[in-house]
Amino acid sequence: MMCLPASPPALASRLGLGLFVLLCLGIGQALENKAVRSRVGEKVGLPCCYEIPSSESLHRYRVYWQKNVTEVVLAYSDGKVISKHERYRSRTEMDPWNLTLWLSPVGLLDNGSYQCIVQRNSIVVCSQPVVLFVAADFSKPNITAEVSAESCESTEMVITCSSHGGFPKPRISGTINNMSVEWDASWVSESSFSPYNVTGKLVLNVTKDVNITCSVEHSGFSKSSSLLIEKTNDCIVPPVPPPYNVIIASIIIVITFILAITLAARFLPRHVCSHCCKHQDSVEEGVKGCTKRSMSSKLTAETSSV
Ligand SMILES: *[C@@H]1O[C@H](CO)[C@@H](O)[C@H](O)[C@H]1NC(C)=O
Ligand SMILES: *[C@@H]1O[C@H](CO)[C@@H](O)[C@H](O)[C@H]1NC(C)=O
Ligand SMILES: *[C@@H]1O[C@H](CO)[C@@H](O)[C@H](O)[C@H]1NC(C)=O
Ligand SMILES: *[C@@H]1O[C@H](CO)[C@@H](O)[C@H](O)[C@H]1NC(C)=O
Ligand SMILES: *[C@@H]1O[C@H](CO)[C@@H](O)[C@H](O)[C@H]1NC(C)=O
Ligand SMILES: *[C@@H]1O[C@H](CO)[C@@H](O)[C@H](O)[C@H]1NC(C)=O
Ligand SMILES: *[C@@H]1O[C@H](CO)[C@@H](O)[C@H](O)[C@H]1NC(C)=O
Ligand SMILES: *[C@@H]1O[C@H](CO)[C@@H](O)[C@H](O)[C@H]1NC(C)=O
């Protein structure tokens, strides 16, 4: 490990303190990158690489906490703060023994790589990078369903799942009755370090009850919701399907037929009779029962022959 003092002109002239940002070049790069995860609004501690022995004190050290190599977050010399970045003012503290840098409250812009450098008598004792990953929770997904087309067999619905205010950019996934489904996702964010709003859409033909879930996830964090859509099969005014027509038509035909037969059964004998009666009517008198009439006609025939 080798550290070279670098002096960004603006910073050096502003401070006029001979304060340097140290560029440390890992020789052999054996440093394992430490990572710290945090959420917006929390208090987070970034560990340093050195603990001051109880026999000594911070007075004998220079400590630099810098971000992304170019920005001094907090620097101590002779036990006093010699530099504090504007953006971190009143949000930072350093533990005077183990040199942990405390940040509170953490903001999205604090995401990035940090480095702690400890010098004693102008000799670098140690330096260590720490990566801070800042995340923000997404709201519980809100699933809504809107009918876009309806028929008796199916209902076409537009399902929307939305969640907001999280960071970083999430993935959106889901299931329909336990089968995974792809949401057509879109994200909005004001800048690369602003919270994201995410919206997933899908068009679905609902033919039976469905249970839809939507999950919004990023780096080990996940929030999900589910929505149960019940297929309401209420075809109040159905566009009469052919089978109905056929059934109704056949019922009408059958009824008509039965009616016709019944009527025929009642009137056919009289018809036949009145036919034969009419013949004799001209000969004999009018209003009589048919059977009687045929008998009487027989009688008259007999009398006439006599
Ligand atoms: C440093 O000390 C603080 C207490 O002052 C403790 O909470 C923290 O865990 C310590 N950090 C390390 C890396 O030892
Ligand atoms: C340091 O910050 C600059 C812009 O501020 C960015 O372009 C660069 O990628 C950062 N480097 C690291 C190592 O994070
Ligand atoms: C946060 O910072 C780390 C380290 O620089 C970087 O790898 C990561 O991409 C950053 N996260 C986002 C969301 O930019
Ligand atoms: C879900 O979204 C709908 C439509 O955008 C909105 O009316 C409703 O208030 C939202 N519900 C919640 C709990 O945010
Ligand atoms: C869905 O899957 C889970 C496990 O993957 C199972 O326990 C559950 O019974 C399933 N539900 C249905 C309705 O298939
Ligand atoms: C994200 O959603 C929130 C709440 O619905 C809204 O106030 C905000 O303006 C949205 N942000 C963007 C970038 O659209
Ligand atoms: C849903 O079904 C209707 C007709 O049954 C069809 O026109 C439409 O394309 C289907 N939509 C989807 C998303 O499958
Ligand atoms: C829908 O499915 C989810 C997970 O698969 C389950 O937690 C939830 O209870 C189900 N809802 C209903 C109403 O069945």
Q: CATH number of the domain that 153 lies in?
A: 2.60.40.10
Residue 198 lies in a domain: yes
Residue 97 Cα, ligand 1 centroid: separation in angstroms?
A: 8
Checking if the pLDDT of 201 tops 90, the result is: yes
Mutate which of 142, 164, 186, 199 for ligand 6? The one with the most ligand atoms within 8 Å of its CB, which is 164
Please report how the helices 242-281 and 290-305 are oriented relative to each other, as an axis angle in degrees rounded to 10.
30
Which residues have CB under 6 Å of ligand 7? Answer: 154, 156, 203, 205
* The pLDDT of residue 213: 97
Same domain, 166 and 201: yes
Residue 225 lies in a domain: yes
Sign of the Cα pseudo-torsion (232, 237, 243, 247, in order): positive
Question: Strand 61-67's sheet: what is its strand order?
Answer: 34-39, 123-135, 112-120, 61-67, 71-77, 80-84
Residue 12 lies in a domain: no
Residue nearest (by alpha carbon) to ligand 2 atom 7: 68
Residue 234 lies in a domain: no
Same domain, 162 and 101: no
Q: Which of 210, 229, 248 is the last residue of a domain?
A: 229
Q: Which domain does 182 fall in, by range? A: 142-229
Residue 35 Cα, ligand 3 centroid: separation in angstroms?
A: 11
Residue 206 lies in a domain: yes
Q: Which of 229, 250, 270 is the last residue of a domain?
A: 229
Same domain, 128 and 155: no
Residue nearest (by alpha carbon) to ligand 8 atom 14: 211
Same domain, 167 and 97: no
Same domain, 108 and 68: yes
**Dist CA 140 CA 122 (whole Å):** 52
First-to-last C-alpha distance (Å) of the chain: 156
Count of the separate structural domains present in the chain: 2
Decide: pTM greater than 0.95: no
* The pLDDT of residue 90: 87
Residue 245 lies in a domain: no
Which atom, in ligand 2's list, is nearest to the CA of 112? 14
Residue 280 lies in a domain: no
> Is the CB of 226 within 6 Å of ligand 8?
yes
- Ligand number nearest to the C-alpha of 51: 1
Same domain, 126 and 40: yes
User: Which of 105, 110, 125, 132 lies closest to 64 in space, CA to CA?
Assistant: 125
Same domain, 126 and 150: no
Task: Identify the residue with better confidence: 33 or 62.
Answer: 62
Same domain, 44 and 79: yes
> Is the CB of 197 within 6 Å of ligand 6?
yes
The token pair that represents 131 in the structure block: 């990566």
Same domain, 148 and 62: no
Same domain, 117 and 37: yes
Q: Which of 196, 229, 262 is the last residue of a domain?
A: 229
Same domain, 130 and 167: no
* The pLDDT of residue 146: 93
What are the tens digits of pLDDT across the range 205-258?
888 899 999 999 987 789 999 999 987 766 665 455 556 676 667 767 666 766
* The pLDDT of residue 233: 63
What are the tens digits of pLDDT across the range 143-167?
999 999 888 888 899 999 999 999 9
Which atom, in ligand 8's list, is nearest to the CA of 211? 1
What are the tens digits of pLDDT across the range 43-75?
999 999 999 999 999 999 999 999 988 889 999
> Is the CB of 284 within 6 Å of ligand 1?
no
Same domain, 56 and 112: yes
Residue 254 lies in a domain: no
Residue type, 258: I
